[in-house]
Structure 1
Amino acid sequence: MKKTLLSLSFSPRVESTSAALADGFIADWHKANPDADLRQRALGRDVIAGPDEAWIAANMTPEAERTPEQAERLAASDQAIADLHAASHIVIATPMFNFGLPWTLKSYVDLILRVGKTFSFDPATGFGPLLSADKKLMIVWSSAGEYQPGTPTAPFDHLTPYLRQIFGFMGVTQSEAVSAGNMWGGPEAVETSLSAARTRLAALSPSW
């Protein structure tokens, strides 16, 4: 089966630390997988409209009964979900905002988490995943402070466990997370963190 990598960037900055790290990783990965397709979505500088009342009404209407206006309301969500189903590998590049997700990434999550599309529900059996378990997720993120496992501030990282839980709920349980923390530290601390992140990503890229 041909590999397809879906790259999703959520930084609002043109010069983004997380996006630059992810781009380097993707370039290395593509060298090891030259026949793979790449799909890139830069979503951090665009307004992602989250679900409102009209969107919810459209989503709750059976697909065959939706009006053209309702179908258009769900078009962005449908495309984002189609991208996920088509991808064998998913890279999310994002900064941490206030110990969690930037609002654009949270809006994206609200667009892709749809019953009958990315998860199922049955009153008798509960919830079930609809994304293939063969998919792989890579989370590349940056933060002002240091939140690596084992540090005193690690419990403040609400980004990594949230994304892993959300994608795991949809069926994607194979995940890696690489971060560059301490971006508000001095130049030496910043470079140390960036170098460690690049080294980790370079080591993962050939076999991921």
Structure 2
Amino acid sequence: MTKTLLSLSFSPRVASTSAALADGFIADWHKANPDAELRQRALGREAIAGPDEDWIAANMTPEAERTPDQANLLAASDQAIADLHAASHIVIATPMFNFGLPWTLKSYVDLIVRVGKTFSFDPATGFGPLLSADKKLMIVWSSAGEYQPGTPTEPFDHLTPYLRQVFGFMGITQSDAVSAGNMWGGPDAAAASLSAARAQLAALSPTW
């Protein structure tokens, strides 16, 4: 089965640490999977229109009954969800903002978590995932501080637990996360963190 890697970048910066790390990882991964299809979406430097009242009304309208305007309101969400269903591997590159997600990534999450599309709901049985459990998720992120497991500031990381929970809710439970912290810790600390992140990603790329 042909692999498809979906690359999603959410940094608002042109020179992005997280995007550069993810690009290096994807290049190494593609060498090990030369027949794989790559789909890249740079979503950090443009406004992502999240759900508003009209969007919610369109989403709650049965698909066969939607007007053309309602279908247009949901088009970006439909495309993002189609990308997820088509992908075997998903790479999210993002900075941490204020211990959590940048607004563009949160808006993206609000577009993809849709009943009947990425999860199901039945009053009798509750929620169920609609994305294949065979998919893999890689989270590559950067931050001003250091939030690695085992550090005193680990509890401040609300980015990786949130993304793992959201994608797990939709069915994707195979996930890895690699971070480059201490970007504001001085040149030596930043360089050491970047080097460690690159090494970790390089070790994961051949078999991921």
Amino acid at match of 1:82: A
Match of 1:150, SS state, is coil
TM-score normalised according to structure 2 size? 1.00
Distance 2:160 2:93 in 1: 12
TM-score normalised according to structure 1 size? 1.00
- 2:85: which partner in 1? 85
Distance 1:159 1:83 in 2: 22
Match of 1:141, SS state, is strand
Alignment of 1:186-197 (within 5 A): 186-197=186-197
Q: CA-atom RMSD, angstroms?
A: 0.2
Amino acid at match of 1:75: A
Distance 1:119 1:46 in 2: 27
5+ residue gaps, structure 1, are: none
- Shift, 1:89, TM fit: 0.1
- 1:198: which partner in 2? 198
Amino acid at match of 1:187: P
Distance 2:140 2:75 in 1: 27
Match of 1:49, SS state, is coil
Check if 1:121 corresponds to 2:115: no
- Shift, 1:85, TM fit: 0.1
Amino acid at match of 2:65: E
Q: Could you list the runs of 4 or more consecutive aligned residues of structure 1 that deviate by over 3 angstroms after TM superposition?
A: none
Check if 1:154 corresponds to 2:141: no
Match of 1:185, SS state, is coil
Check if 1:165 corresponds to 2:162: no
Distance 1:180 1:16 in 2: 12
- Shift, 1:96, TM fit: 0.1
Distance 2:129 2:152 in 1: 34
Match of 1:21, SS state, is helix
- Shift, 1:172, TM fit: 0.1
- 2:185: which partner in 1? 185
Distance 1:51 1:39 in 2: 24
- Shift, 1:186, TM fit: 1.0
Q: Taking every aligned residue pair, what percent have the same amino acid on both sides? A: 90
Q: How many residues align?
A: 208
Cα deviation, 1:135-163, whole Å, max 9, x if unaligned, reads 00000000000000000000000000000
Amino acid at match of 2:160: T
Match of 2:185, SS state, is coil
Amino acid at match of 1:148: Q
Match of 1:176, SS state, is strand
Match of 1:39, SS state, is strand
Amino acid at match of 1:47: A
5+ residue gaps, structure 2, are: none
Match of 2:200, SS state, is helix
Distance 1:168 1:97 in 2: 22
Distance 2:31 2:46 in 1: 30
Match of 2:91, SS state, is strand
